[in-house]
Amino acid sequence: MKQRIGVYICHCGGNISDYVDVEELGKMFHKEENVVVSKDVMFACADSNQKDMVADIQANNLDAIVVCSCSPKLHLHTFKNVAARAGLNPSNYVQVNIREQCSWPHSDRPREATVKAAGLIRAGINRVSFSESLENIELTVKKSALVIGAGVSGMKAAIDLARSGNEVFLIEKDFFVGGRIAQKQTLFPTNQNGKEVVAALYNEMKKFPNITIFTGATVEKVSGSLGNFTVDIKVKPRYINPNADKKAVKRAMDECPVSVHDDFNLGLVERKAIYKNYPEALPDVPLVVAEALKDAEDFTGKFASTLNLKEEEQTLSLIAGSVLVTTGYDHYQPKEGEYGYKTISNVVTLPELNRLMEMNPDKLVYNGKQIKSLAFIYCVGSRQTKGDNKYCSRQCCTSTIHTSLQLKEKYKDIQTYHLYRDIRTYGKQELMYAESSKQGDLYFKYEEKEMPVVSVDGKSTIVKVKDYLTAKKEMEIEADLVVLVTGMVAREDATTISELFKIPIGRDKFFNEIHPKLKPVETVIKGVYIGGTCQGPKNVSESVQSSLAGASKITALLKSGTVSVDPIIARINADACTWCGKCSDVCDYTAIKEILFGEKHVATVNKAVCTGCGICAPVCPENAIEVAQYTDNEIESMIDGFMMDFDIKEKGAGEVVEVEEEGKVGMKEYPLVWREILAGMTDEKNTIPEIVANSKLASELVTFHLMTMNRYGVVVPAGMDAKETYYYYKRK
Amino acid sequence: MSTPINQSPATKSPKILVFSTDKISDPGIDQAGLRKIHYAPSVYVISLPCSSGIKPKWIMHALENGFDGVFIAADGHECSYSSRCADHTNTIVETSQELMKAKNINPRRVRMAALCSVCAEPFMSHMENYGKILASLED
Ligand SMILES: Cc1cc2nc3c(=O)[nH]c(=O)nc-3n(C[C@H](O)[C@H](O)[C@H](O)COP(=O)(O)OP(=O)(O)OC[C@H]3O[C@@H](n4cnc5c(N)ncnc54)[C@H](O)[C@@H]3O)c2cc1C
Ligand code: SF4
Ligand code: SF4
Ligand code: SF4
């Protein structure tokens, strides 16, 4: 139990003290026996206060501290660092949220807010009394990274990782690298050729001796953890004799008598049973579909020294310190009959149209007929309020409009009709939308409740749409080709990768990061990162940004050869455990194993793997499991703390003013200081010294509050003054 | 404790203990505060990594020591730890309700709902509705 606790209760310059009587609370907790220091402070997070805290901790030999201020999401690490600087173990620190969860939501009832704050602080003191000094767990790591999926995301990341000196294993399931962008002849916004981008990245990778690329390879088994993952991969054979003469290989491809389904061209055509996805595909060795050549004995006999149909698949074991998953996405596949797909002959998807455009350089022809008009139906398989795919696929509006521009440029005399729900050409992509309108593309807006209907009338295909731009008038559009703008979905085998690495999958079936803003490429599995479209819809630029972020995280992680991980993990009381295995059954991360403890079989937690989720704790019939910092003592003593009532005197409630410009911050009223600062902003824009002079508020107070007001969009910076010493601020 | 214990107005509305989650529902509750969406000051929150880590024992501790109800603000399908989180949390609720029955505590005194990281209004209405339900219970 901690005996020498320091308690700091923050005014937050009025954000808290306008409603909660912090001075009274500061005095009150001073009387507690195990509390040595109890103070109210203007800004707990201010540098000056942090220095005071360090001095207090050292002078009073404090063994724990409690800061009662804003949400721990903002300043937990600030104060943990204060503790560390003062030589106190940071886990002897508790932050109590008396702003977001007390003064603000109860600003209508200041007295009760003060009573609640007292309970919250008491709970914090109780909790910190049970705190233990925890040490980070140190692990040694291998300086190698495994990247899964050689699309644009994976290749860019592999190059970056290699350049930073890591050994890189790049695993690609297909026999050729590049992923989806190889299927797109012209990529927005740069109009680069997808295949050329792929070739450039591949050639760049080849310059790095520390990158090993495995194609036709899949992950079979994963063991180990952060720093030392052992990953077994299976590499499928290409059935081409590695010593075969290149010309003979080329002849075999040309003469191959058997055709198979062509995945790369989305089944629009067939390909030979010895193929490359496209002539320039890399690595530059074709693949033999051995199964399809079973009966072509004359052919295989003729090329016996070129082909090696007895080649066997290999299993290899790789060791990696960290893993980046970049397995990409699939195209949404419309159901049979969805807008006439597969039931009406001239209905195709956008990816199929992209392939058709590449295969038809001069005239766009489909089913033997020249195409002069196309109707695009947007949002197919995305934004389904009733279906599974609730999300927007982000890039398809732009992709369609870009395709429309390409159609006009390539085939000239062509008319396009766009049946959309909303156009989401965010950022610079909006320029393409303007250009498309300018070239005469026609736009019709439909709503999900009244979807367009595709039907056949004699020889023509008709799309009927209720156009919300013209008072829901029903339009009939005759089109030579109907194009379904299909969105992105998670890869079917994403579940396999998820199970192997224990990466959680979201409701949208894409991989889940820990937090979309704060930890956007991290997963809950230590050492496992995600990048690109396996995480959700993205265009190439966004995909590469996220995979490079993952690569940088990995480089930073592996740099020093050791990593230190959070000690907030589960632990098992071996005396109480009877090895029933229940905890091990619920742990999604297989962090719990059975070991021998003396004569007894008990459960034990792998420190490198445990995420500290605590899911194992409630299932233990012996109550043998606790997560550090969430022990029974800590939680139950907090509950006791909440239950205390205090003798709190009424404090003047302070005037409450409705914020006139509602909607900017979404607050019902601004705190008093904010109002004073705004009143002090007498000119169109003001510097801090001007506001200080006008408002008579302390400079420190104005500085801190302006920062918060800026964060919440109440004020915005408006350049620097002439001497470039101070920023101007203006009301937003 | 040295401070006098006094009857405070806060004790008039039912006391609710909320278990939230660090990454999803607790930020949602913070949002309610930030936007000054008012709910009863007799609502107290403990944030945990995951709602599937709540021990029924803690729920009992709260109910036996003066809390009128326990509300679990779970992550539902958004949980970054486990895709089975909703099921695990549900089991915790059911186990607690068994323990509660044995002690003649009304099983409605524990409740769970999914809350997201921007669910400010939903949190307020959950607290309002649950407060009303708890006020009407006579066990
Ligand atoms: C119709 C359409 C048009 C588009 N046009 C554009 C455009 O013009 N401009 C633009 O910026 N964006 C465009 N995009 C988006 C673009 O396609 C993606 O942003 C990009 O392909 C994402 O790359 P990636 O590496 O994340 O995924 P992918 O390209 O899907 O690559 C993933 C790779 O991982 C491999 N893989 C999958 N699973 C495994 C596994 N289990 N083991 C090993 N390997 C595996 C795959 O075989 C693949 O090679 C378009 C998208 C669509 C749907
Ligand atoms: S990007 Fe456009 S077409 Fe794609 S789902 Fe979103 S709104 Fe629909
Ligand atoms: S659930 Fe409890 S008793 Fe059973 S193995 Fe795990 S720790 Fe031991
Ligand atoms: S806290 Fe328990 S369930 Fe969660 S990862 Fe650790 S051992 Fe597994």
What is the tally of structural domains in chain B?
Answer: 1
Whole-angstrom distance, CA of residue A111 vs CA of residue A94: 24
pLDDT digits (tens, 9 = 90+) for A120-156: 999 999 999 999 999 999 989 999 999 999 999 999 9
Residue A645's pLDDT band, with cuts at 50, 70 and 90, is low
DSSP for A653-716, written as a single string: -------SSTTSS--SS--HHHHHHHHH--SSSEEHHHHHHHH---HHHHHHHHHHHHHTTSEE
pLDDT digits (tens, 9 = 90+) for B45-74: 999 999 999 999 999 999 999 999 999 999
Which residue does chain A place closest to B11, by CA atoms?
Answer: A645
Residue whose C-alpha is closest to residue B47's, from B68, B18, B67: B18
B1 lies in a domain? no
Are both A358 and A411 inside the same structural domain? yes
Which atom, in ligand 3's list, is nearest to the CA of A616? Answer: 1
Are both A341 and A324 inside the same structural domain? no
A640 lies in a domain? no
% residues pLDDT > 70 (chain A) = 96
Are both A543 and A624 inside the same structural domain? no
pLDDT digits (tens, 9 = 90+) for A363-394: 999 999 999 999 999 999 999 999 899 999 99
A649 lies in a domain? no
Residue whose C-alpha is closest to residue A237's, from A277, A282, A280, A288: A288
Are both A356 and A266 inside the same structural domain? no
A233: left (phi over 0), alpha (psi -120 to 50) or beta: beta
Per the structure, the complete domain to which residue B60 belongs is given by 16-136
pLDDT of residue A668: 53
**A615/B53 Cβ within 8 A:** yes
Nearest-CA distance A562 → chain B (Å):
25
What integer is the mean pLDDT of A241-265? Answer: 96
pLDDT digits (tens, 9 = 90+) for B15-37: 999 999 998 899 999 999 998 99
Say yes or no to pLDDT of A660 above 90: no
What integer is the mean pLDDT of B107-114? Answer: 96
Q: How far is CA A274 from CA A6, A193, A260, A304, A607, in A?
A: 75, 25, 9, 14, 49
Residue A730 tokens, joined: 């203006």
Residue A347 tokens, joined: 């209905």
Domain harbouring B39, CATH code: 3.40.50.960
Are both A51 and A103 inside the same structural domain? yes
Are both A259 and A213 inside the same structural domain? no
Nearest Cβ partner for B80 among A104, A113, A512: A512
- Indicate the pairing of strand A144-148 with strand A322-325: parallel
Residue B4's pLDDT band, with cuts at 50, 70 and 90, is very low
pLDDT of residue A647: 59
Per the structure, the complete domain to which residue A414 belongs is given by 337-382+393-487
Cis peptide before A283 (omega within 30 of 0): yes
pLDDT digits (tens, 9 = 90+) for A27-71: 899 888 899 999 999 899 988 899 999 999 999 999 999 999 999
Give the distance, in angstroms, between the CA of residue B102 and the centroid of all CA atoms in the same chain: 21
Nearest-CA distance A701 → chain B (Å):
20
B9 lies in a domain? no
CB-CB neighbors (< 8 A) of A640 in chain B:
65
Q: Are A20 and A98 in contact (CB under 8 A)?
A: yes
End residue of a domain, out of A439, A457, A487: A487
Residue A513 tokens, joined: 């990061």
Residue A532 tokens, joined: 């690109």
> DSSP 3-state assignment of A401?
helix
Q: How far is CA A143 from CA A167, A558, A559, in A?
A: 6, 5, 7
Whole-angstrom distance, CA of residue A266 vs CA of residue A607: 46
B120 lies in a domain? yes
Strands (E), A141-183: 144-148, 167-172
Whole-angstrom distance, CA of residue A652 vs CA of residue A638: 29
B28 lies in a domain? yes
CB-CB neighbors (< 8 A) of B1 in chain A:
32, 644
CB-CB neighbors (< 8 A) of A712 in chain B:
34
Among A181-190, A198-207, A270-279, A675-684, the minimum mean pLDDT is found in A675-684
What is the tally of structural domains in chain A?
Answer: 6
Please give the torsion angle defined by the CA atoms of residues A344, A349, A355 and A356, in that order, rounded to the nearest 10 degrees: 30
Say yes or no to pLDDT of A731 above 80: yes
Are both A342 and A477 inside the same structural domain? yes
Residue identifier of the C-alpha nearest atom 8 of ligand 3: A577
Q: Are A425 and A398 in contact (CB under 8 A)?
A: yes
- Over chain A, what is the mean pLDDT? 92
Say yes or no to pLDDT of A711 above 80: no
B47 lies in a domain? yes
Q: Kindly provide the b/e burial profile for residues A473-512, where b requires at least 16 CB atoms within 10 angstroms of the residue's own CB.
A: eebebebbbbbbbbbbbbbeebeebbebbbbbbbebbbbb
Q: How far is CA A295 from CA A290, A384, A498, in A?
A: 10, 47, 39
Residue A619 tokens, joined: 């299932």
Are both A480 and A498 inside the same structural domain? no
Ligand 3 center to B53 CA (angstroms): 15
- Residue A717 phi/psi, 5-degree rounding, is -65, 145
Residue A520 tokens, joined: 């956007």
Looking at the CA of A281, which ligand is closest?
Answer: 1
Cα angle, residue A305 at apex, residues A299 and A306 outer, rounded to 5°? 70
Are both A220 and A266 inside the same structural domain? no
Residue A14 is classified by DSSP as G
Domain harbouring A204, CATH code: 3.50.50.60
Whole-angstrom distance, CA of residue A101 vs CA of residue A667: 14
Strands (E), A332-372: 347-349, 365-366, 369-370
What integer is the mean pLDDT of A466-472? Answer: 94
Say yes or no to pLDDT of B78 above 60: yes
Higher pLDDT, A246 or A708: A246
Are both A368 and A464 inside the same structural domain? yes
Strand partners, A94: A66
pLDDT digits (tens, 9 = 90+) for A224-236: 889 989 999 999 9
B70 lies in a domain? yes
Nearest Cβ partner for B92 among A611, A618, A665: A618
Whole-angstrom distance, CA of residue A482 vs CA of residue A166: 48
Residue A661's pLDDT band, with cuts at 50, 70 and 90, is very low
Are both A598 and A706 inside the same structural domain? no
Amino acid present at B59 = I
Give residue ranges with CB within 6 A of ligand 4.
A 569-570, 587, 589, 591-592, 605, 610-616, 627
pLDDT of residue A655: 41
Ligand 1 center to A502 CA (angstroms): 22
- Over chain B, what is the mean pLDDT? 89
B48 lies in a domain? yes
Are both A341 and A293 inside the same structural domain? no
pLDDT digits (tens, 9 = 90+) for A70-86: 999 888 989 999 999 99
